[in-house]
Chains A and B, each alone.
Chain A
């Protein structure tokens, strides 16, 4: 069973257009920068907002289809939502929050409380049943929010930046727990995040949303191996080059040529991994590498084991070299250097 959504919606100048689907038991991460339309997507899927054209359906039931004059309101969809700030009802206790959905649907108080208690037990919160929610920690609140969303036995579970409100220390444990809960959930899951680590840890497939458009959709490996936008390349931490290939030469829109190992034709993307770039201080040495581009060092990031060197030049690049290499070449911000790349390290794929 699948949840399909293929729609467009306009909000002022902003257009959101998405065609995708999520299977039951699958987690789709929607990754994108701020303002890409992620939150709007969640509002549309949950039924808090209507689409302009297209349709949204879940398990063969139409939820929203303007052409058929169908719109199922939020309270009638089986969609559980974990909101970014959790939005727990402050005047209610943890167990009352989780029981809220069942009570709203007419389940009697004793039954609803019993089910809520069981759910809170599953997420390890049996000691906090009667605590008012403002007294809970961030991680506990997140689990109450998850239990509250799961209590209505949703067909589709939406998670809006579920870990963004947590501090770094708790984020890791909560993320691990979340993965465990999600793996036992039967329905489809859409996870909205701007943190690629969430996607790595929790998602089966990734949808990259930029400016209201789907840039890429696929498994994590597919998306990260062949980024199709600067945003994805930056997320993955690799160099993306766009240009036109002819024979073994790629020409960028700014007129830079990149020598390729194999023949290619037409509009292409090329990726160069930062580790594949060698930095030299003079281009007078003879080398087997076919590509040499000049650049000025604008940043040296020493936070990781390897140093990431940002080069500004005709072809902006990020190179990754060892600390020892940085020290032996005495590299500083502002130095004029050359980036050297073997043709075999340039991976080309069609646009």
Chain B
């Protein structure tokens, strides 16, 4: 009688070898960081006032960004997934453009639209006295521009995967579209929503290019962790190492926590 061969032996070794190279490629940079990190100075560096300020500002702005992305991104995801309107693919491309754009380009675009002399910025300034560049609000704007698409795409994919017949059933029971969204759609996409918020938050936490271009690098106001790290690289490389490791740890924890809730892989909990 033939016995079932062990599962490993049936895996093709060229694939395993190449995949192994990929894993190494992603792992080695972090190994380098960890190896060079001045572990004895960790507490000193992390307790420095400027580090604390940057860390606090990063947490504050990235959490606000996550919240704003959620409030505006979920309706946009719903629109893209459920409403068939002309130019939908154009809108989707527009809403996700900043994912593939160099963040600096995004920052430049923001500067010329919401800057003090910008297309809209001048009216914000003249009419309401609102100035976004070089303010903490500007940091949030820059982060939203870059981070919100992650939430929109994740949530849109989840809504698309839902069986829309459940929403139809709810409507025949007299539920308005808003009520259907609140009671049927939203609970069903909760895992994807959590994933989307976490992704957007992690992206906002690491935002550098758009922030430094649009909001500048003012300690206490716009200098977030990535900016502080970049600056420290010139003056105090050891501090840069520690700050980098701190951000890696935070992002890594978020990603591990998300596991398979990632784009398109979340289970469709509504359909039996």
**Residues of A bordering B, CB below 8 Å:** 46-48, 73-77, 79-81, 83, 87, 89-91, 100-101, 104-105, 134, 148-149, 151-152
Q: A97 → chain B, closest Cβ, in Å? A: 9
Tell me the residues in window 161-185 of chain B with beta carbons closer than 8 Å to chain A beta carbons: 163, 165-166, 168-177, 179, 183-184
* A48 / chain B contacts, CB cutoff of 8 Å: 168, 171-172
> Can you identify 13 A-B contacts, CB atoms within 8 angstroms?
A46-B172, A47-B171, A74-B171, A74-B172, A75-B171, A75-B177, A76-B174, A80-B172, A80-B173, A90-B270, A91-B187, A91-B188, A151-B173
A105 and B175 alpha carbons, distance in the complex (Å)? 7
A79 and B165 alpha carbons, distance in the complex (Å)? 16
Q: B162 → chain A, closest Cβ, in Å? A: 12
A75 and B183 alpha carbons, distance in the complex (Å)? 15
Question: Mask for B256-272, Cβ within 8 A of A = 1, else 0?
Answer: 00000000000001101
Interface centre among A46, A81, A87 (most CB of B within 10 A): A87
| Residue count of chain B within 8 Å CB distance of chain A | 21
**Residues of B bordering A, CB below 8 Å:** 163, 165-166, 168-177, 179, 183-184, 187-188, 269-270, 272
A73, closest chain B residue (CB): B171
Contact of A47 among B172, B179, B272 (CB under 8 A): B172
A48 and B172 alpha carbons, distance in the complex (Å)? 8
Contact of B166 among A75, A80, A89 (CB under 8 A): A89
* A148 / chain B contacts, CB cutoff of 8 Å: 173
* B172 / chain A contacts, CB cutoff of 8 Å: 46-48, 74-75, 77, 79-81, 149
A90 and B271 alpha carbons, distance in the complex (Å)? 8
Q: A93 → chain B, closest Cβ, in Å? A: 14
A152 and B168 alpha carbons, distance in the complex (Å)? 15
Q: B169 → chain A, closest Cβ, in Å? A: 4
A148 and B175 alpha carbons, distance in the complex (Å)? 13
A80 and B170 alpha carbons, distance in the complex (Å)? 10
Q: A80 → chain B, closest Cβ, in Å? A: 7
B168, closest chain A residue (CB): A48
Q: Is B171 within 8 A of A89, CB to CB?
A: no
Interface of A (DSSP majority class): mixed
**In the complex with contacts A87-B165, A100-B183, A152-B173 CB distance below 8 A:** yes
A151 and B176 alpha carbons, distance in the complex (Å)? 17
A42, closest chain B residue (CB): B172
Contact of B175 among A77, A83, A104, A151 (CB under 8 A): A104
Q: Is A101 within 8 A of B270, CB to CB?
A: no
Q: Is B176 within 8 A of A75, CB to CB?
A: yes
Q: B34 → chain A, closest Cβ, in Å? A: 43
Q: A75 → chain B, closest Cβ, in Å? A: 5
Contact of B170 among A76, A79, A90, A104 (CB under 8 A): A104
**In the complex with contacts A75-B171, A75-B174, A89-B165 CB distance below 8 A:** no
Q: Is A90 within 8 A of B175, CB to CB?
A: no
Q: Is B184 within 8 A of A83, CB to CB?
A: no
B271, closest chain A residue (CB): A90
Q: B82 → chain A, closest Cβ, in Å? A: 13
A73 and B175 alpha carbons, distance in the complex (Å)? 11
Q: Is A104 within 8 A of B173, CB to CB?
A: yes
A79 and B172 alpha carbons, distance in the complex (Å)? 6
* B174 / chain A contacts, CB cutoff of 8 Å: 75-76, 101, 104-105, 152
* B188 / chain A contacts, CB cutoff of 8 Å: 91
**In the complex with contacts A48-B168, A83-B165, A100-B173 CB distance below 8 A:** yes
* A75 / chain B contacts, CB cutoff of 8 Å: 171-177
**In the complex with contacts A100-B183, A104-B179, A81-B270 CB distance below 8 A:** no
A74 and B169 alpha carbons, distance in the complex (Å)? 9
A89 and B188 alpha carbons, distance in the complex (Å)? 10
Interface centre among B169, B188, B270 (most CB of A within 10 A): B169
**In the complex with contacts A90-B272, A134-B272, A101-B173 CB distance below 8 A:** yes
* A89 / chain B contacts, CB cutoff of 8 Å: 166, 169-170, 184
A87 and B163 alpha carbons, distance in the complex (Å)? 10
Q: B157 → chain A, closest Cβ, in Å? A: 20
Q: A50 → chain B, closest Cβ, in Å? A: 14
Interface centre among B174, B176, B177, B188 (most CB of A within 10 A): B174
A87 and B188 alpha carbons, distance in the complex (Å)? 14
Given pairs A75-B174, A81-B169, 11 additional interface contacts (CB within 8 A): A46-B168, A48-B172, A83-B165, A83-B169, A90-B270, A91-B188, A101-B175, A104-B175, A104-B176, A104-B179, A152-B173
